[in-house]
Structure 1
């Protein structure tokens, strides 16, 4: 597995096409944190996020195996688009808006490695992440989505615009207003991170 870590995503896709299952495992490990966290922040349910994450990689595998994967862009934005579409499809199926959960039972930041932090630093980080998550929950859906895709999935504004079917300027505006709204919340509620 360590051998494949130096390979690019495209090289790993080609190796997987040639029958190397470890190449796909490396791709999954490389991108799972960003993809899972983005899905979770959109659906607000740990178990549903896990299911959609698995469905996303099944679609990725099926698409690559059937030679329908085109190398027009990067692997991560393509996988993120599949994940986003699965989330949208889920909400269309259940015909409801995403529910907002602020329960401490579901920590989206389990994927972050805290091995170098002491207990006090972990507690402080968890409290900050919880405050950010609660503020994100209060934003309008379009603003929340752009912030999640930009900061958690590391997508460019061009990729976000494509994914959300809006112009780059609209995506930039949603990000700007989302951050302004979060700053207002911090000021009004005297939230310190």
Structure 2
């Protein structure tokens, strides 16, 4: 079944859309607060589609992601009890917040860098940083460095790999897609208990 190759072709069409930078900016902003879709999912195909704009796209993603992180921080700081805590409870994320608190206690500011650079859900840490009243300026600076490194790395790899990498990706996209889907299901089944 060639579901993923068709989906990839559609994503590449969207990446060329004249409003794609606006969508990337919006996704970057809300992903830092609550959105589950990583910025890389838009950034990578947009950079492949227009490699000459790679650094612009990375800068856009970084700026709006850190702006969203600031908003997430504010939500945790000012609206934890009336809005955020009930939302966390309704989503069943209490354990994730407790884990984030424990990581803050153990690693301090470095946990923001780790969450901003890796696939760990950054949104959990932006809200938790506000709830814990972490110093705002260091939070923003570390977020800027971590998010910037991540997005410029993704854009750089896409720009560097270019047409050759895209050709290989297209060739194996369905196999990779199914393997990722199977891995996600297995991970869910193993971790749900």
TM-score, normalization by structure 2 = 0.29
Relative to its length, the structure with more helix (as a share) is 2
**Relative CO higher for 1 or 2, CA cutoff 8 Å, sep ≥ 6?**
2
